[in-house]
Structure 1
Amino acid sequence: MKGQFLLFTILVTFTGIYLGFLRIIVPYAQESLESTLIFIPLIIFGFVKGSFNFIAGRFSDVLGRKRILMYGWIVAIFSDLLLFLSKTFIILLIVMSLLAINQAFTWTTTVTSQIDIGGKRKAGLSTGINEMSGYIGVALGSALASIMYGLTSLFLLFISALALMMTFSAIETRHLIRSREDPPIKEAINLPILGLSIAGLTEKFVDAAYFLLIPFYLISKGYTLFFVGEVVSIYALVWAISQPLFGYVADLSEKRVLFLLVGFVIMGVGIPFLLINPILISIFEGIGMGLVYPNLIAGVNDRVHEKLRGTALGVYRLLRDSGYGVAGIVFIIMDKFSFDLYSIAIIELVTIVLILFITKA
């Protein structure tokens, strides 16, 4: 099983590289657009990914994790071919939709598979390793995109084809769940899980800022594409590396809620000052995300039967990644009324109240 766990780790790294490339390429390709239009791809990405997260989670419980994972990389190949043909605004919207489906199918199934292998008691560690690997991929993809912009389509096509071939070697981990119980699907949609899912949605406001708002702002201020890639990469790398540690310690200490509260405080306090020192604050934001990210997923896993793991994580990821879409709409409002990053800080700090409430449920 160690070999299979490693295989899923490599596959989610490819998923991250794919996302990292497009997190740099899309803002750069749109720099001449009106400020409100640049958020449209983010809104599409968020709502499409959120919806397909639920589809991926539910059908991974019914059809199996491996099949959904393969579908995700087939979708990626179509996306790469479109990007090779053109980088017009309409094509970018289609590519973002396909990217969202790819991310939903591949990331949902790899994290679910690794929790299947690691077991329920090590959910934080398994999730931390999965997310660390994926966001190391994001950091690597962001860095590479700033260097090899002209070769984007060919490189992504190579990554997609390689990942698809490697998926054939993966086992179906759904069969590792030995319970004979058949719990009703409503158990995957309870108040604590919905509360954690909404907390995940608000956490995405910070990541959405790094997805488009901050890169676009830095580019518009004359910063080089290399510097923008460096800022996004540092944030993603710190986030990635810290996750296994915070997930594992939370597993041992059984104080997952404390990790969530501290993480949201760090993100809320730090984000308003990001434009003063992008590198330094990106390190703090990465630490905050590292505290929150694996423990929200593990918190959902703590509250659901193993046979409904895929469905429950699909519900969580449906709301969490819809946060990209909600954030995009909020960013348009912020732009129209000249709000700043303090608005995001308020949202993150209000989430603390939500977490305190749901932990009493």
Structure 2
Amino acid sequence: MKNQSHTRTLGLKENWQQFSLLVIVNAFVGAMIGLERSILPELAEKEFNLAAKSAILSFIMVFGFTKAFLNYFAGRLSDTFGRKKVLIAGWLIAIPVPFLLMWAPSWTWILIANVFLGASQGLTWSTTVIMKIDLVGSKQRGLAMGLNEFAGYFAVAGSALLTGLIAADYGVRPEPFFLGVVYIIAGLILSIFFIHETRHHVAIELKDHQHEDLSQKDIFLKTTFKDRNLSSVTQAGFVNNLNDGMAWGLFPILFASAGMSLREIGWLAAIYPASWGLLQLWTGHLSDKVGRKWLIVLGMWTQAIGIIVTVSFLNKFGFSVGALLLGTGTAMVYPTLLAAIGDVAHPAWRASSVGIYRLWRDSGYAIGALISGVVADYFGINSAIWLIAMITFASGVITALRQSETAPDKLPLRISVEDLNSLIEKQKVIVIDVRSKEEFEDGHISIAIHREKATLPDSISQLPKTAHIVTNCGKGGGRSIEAAEYLRKNGWTKAQWLEGGYIAWKESSDRKTKGIQMT
């Protein structure tokens, strides 16, 4: 063990074997959801004679709330007991699921199966996300999340298609659910015998970060409300799964009402997660290249358009195009949101923040099913679908107005005094004054350290490459721009220069005076 600790490194290439195994494990995790994706609404109507849409969608509410609750604790448990143990526990909890779905004598037992499924998904999927973030570090976080979500949701699509085809030939029970037994056995064998613990990799990343110790209450509030970026990501994730909860429950019923056969419903139910899963191979990596914010905004708007197309063109072609657009929009958003959480959250409490984000995100399943079910019962399916489309579009607007770019090397080179003051208040910035010694002594930003521009190559090597650095001169521009550009070219990807310089900060009515102090 001692030798292993010395050879641990961060990176996708450096850890490709463990990363690949985790991708395969997450495919089996996703396949478990696919068991229900195309046939459970049919099962509710035909075998259990449920008529109310809210009753039919109750299995999604139970699944969503349970998964959300376990998501929250998955992060905390993985920090306390280790990632691997939590992953194995998640697979053990899944064991009753296929058998309950095969032999449930009443709808209540289907709901119980979804309690087990939600708990299992909360532990297994959250843990595979956390483990991949542990392994790759910051440089390829978007690509890593894209690969993770591709595996999971492409498997959802494949499993949904298989269960639909099996149900068309053999009936909705028990044969389609035999697949679940295979998924669980494979997932358990890989997790027990081949997956290694990854939380020790966090220590490598911590070396390049300032110490930051927060209580669980503080982390919850930052992720949910206080931090503009974390909370913007959280609301977008919530709405994303809100519309997915609606699509999961209402789209198969909509397809059936338009005359689609069970086999056709299986294919249509697979298009959405298949496009979602496949495109994440590209969109996760794309977010590393172009940034997170506008990929999220455009993704939410694309989802809204897909939902509108589905409900407006009630035929097989319209359903297919709508599902493809919804899957494309979700692919733009899903890995990018997780990457943005990784960008903003400190490594010391990132696992907990991911758990809180996934708590709210997967609550969207339940709330989406609840809202769309009730609205469908009172006003019709079409009204429920239109409502969810409008909420999805509004979420994109909120992100556009509230979130800033979080990708480490996509920050704008310039920063305003207002944004600097916010960073100073949060103690998340190092300010470097690049003027002469005489200018610095005449007056400087309260927490600034003095490094003349010409001395930067020899005087900043001790600063961590992940630090958020702001350079300033007197009026902004010139020396501070050159210093920020030098820092970026040499690995300090979060370097920015202060617009207006020291004079603008001095004249600011809201200037902050406490922050990271360095010498």
TM interval, short-chain normalised: over 0.9
Aligned match for 1:33, one of 50, 56, 64 = 50
Confirm or deny that 1:262 pairs with 2:298.
Answer: yes
Once the two structures are superposed, the pairs formed by residues 144-293 of structure 1 within 5 Å of their partners are 144-149=162-167, 150-168=174-192, 169-178=194-203, 179=206, 181=211, 183-185=213-215, 186-187=218-219, 189-190=221-222, 191=227, 192-253=229-290, 255-275=291-311, 276=313, 277-293=318-334
What is the aligned partner in structure 1 of residue 379 from structure 2? Answer: 337
Secondary structure, counterpart of 1:274 in structure 2: helix
Q: Deviations over 1:136-163 (max 9, x none)?
A: 1001100110122342333211210221
What is the aligned partner in structure 1 of residue 418 from structure 2? Answer: none
What is the aligned partner in structure 1 of residue 350 from structure 2? Answer: 309
Query: Contact 1:27/1:216 (CA < 8 Å) preserved in 2?
Result: yes
Secondary structure, counterpart of 1:4 in structure 2: helix
Question: Residues of 1 paired with 2:105 and 2:365: CA distance?
Answer: 22
Q: Deviations over 1:207-259 (max 9, x none)?
A: 11321110122224432111111112111111111113111121122x21010
Once the two structures are superposed, the pairs formed by residues 116-131 of structure 1 within 5 Å of their partners are 116-131=134-149
Cα 1:84/1:342, change in 2 over 3 Å: closer
Secondary structure, counterpart of 2:57 in structure 1: helix
What's the CA shift for 1:15? 0.9
Question: Residues of 2 paired with 1:107 and 1:118: CA distance?
Answer: 17
Query: Contact 2:372/2:388 (CA < 8 Å) preserved in 1?
Result: no
What's the CA shift for 1:320? 0.4
Query: Contact 2:54/2:369 (CA < 8 Å) preserved in 1?
Result: no
Q: Structure 2 counterpart of 1:12, which letter?
A: N
What value does the CA root-mean-square deviation take over the aligned residues?
1.7
Aligned match for 2:395, one of 351, 354, 357 = 351
Question: Residues of 1 paired with 2:80 and 2:212: CA distance?
Answer: 12
Question: Residues of 2 paired with 1:332 and 1:146: CA distance?
Answer: 23
> 5+ unaligned residues in a row in structure 2: which ranges?
1-14, 168-173, 405-421, 423-519
What's the CA shift for 1:29? 0.8
What's the CA shift for 1:305? 1.1
Cα 1:23/1:87, change in 2 over 3 Å: farther
Moved segments of 4+, more than 6 Å? none
What is the aligned partner in structure 2 of residue 22 from structure 1? Answer: 36
Higher relative contact order (CA 8 A, sep 6+): 1
What's the CA shift for 1:87? 5.3
Q: Deviations over 1:87-121 (max 9, x none)?
A: 52011100111111111111101111111111122
Secondary structure, counterpart of 2:50 in structure 1: coil
What's the CA shift for 1:83? 2.4
What's the CA shift for 1:189? 4.1
- Structure with higher Rg: it is 2
* Higher helix proportion (structure 1 or 2): 1
Question: Residues of 1 paired with 2:373 and 2:30: CA distance?
Answer: 27
Deviates more, 1:158-167 or 1:203-212: 203-212
Aligned match for 1:143, one of 149, 161, 176 = 161
Confirm or deny that 1:12 pairs with 2:26.
Answer: yes
Confirm or deny that 1:320 pairs with 2:365.
Answer: no
What's the CA shift for 1:187? 4.2
Q: Structure 1 counterpart of 2:299, which letter?
A: G
Q: Deviations over 1:296-327 (max 9, x none)?
A: 11111111111222111100000000001111
Q: Deviations over 1:179-205 (max 9, x none)?
A: 264621424641232231111111113
The alignment of Structure 1 onto Structure 2 pairs a total of residues equal to 360
